[in-house]
Amino acid sequence: MAPIGSDNDKGATGAAKFATSTVGNTVGGLGRTVGGIVGAGGRGIGQTITGATGSAGKPVGDAIESLGNGVENGAHNVSKGVEDAGKWK
């Protein structure tokens, strides 16, 4: 791979890399933000259900927490892939 700033990063290729990097980083960042919000919300709702209902509601609370964590982790992985694609990796 050629070093950054080489002839391979000039002209149309350089412009394309800049554009895809910008879009990839923006979309990746938004994905992480949304995933983090959904994950935190799921954990909060799950913990609230568990706290309000005690052991009877614990399975439901735990399931909602796990769902929120799964969405957050999935969004993180997708965002990483988008960012890597934007960096032409």
> CA 75: distance to chain centroid?
4
Count, residues in the chain = 89
What number is the average pLDDT over the span 3-16? 66
pLDDT tens figures, 27-79: 999 999 999 999 999 999 999 999 999 999 999 999 999 999 999 999 999 99
SS3 28: helix
pTM, to two decimals:
0.73
pLDDT tens figures, 40-51: 999 999 999 999
SS3 2: coil
77 closest CA partner among 30, 28, 34: 28
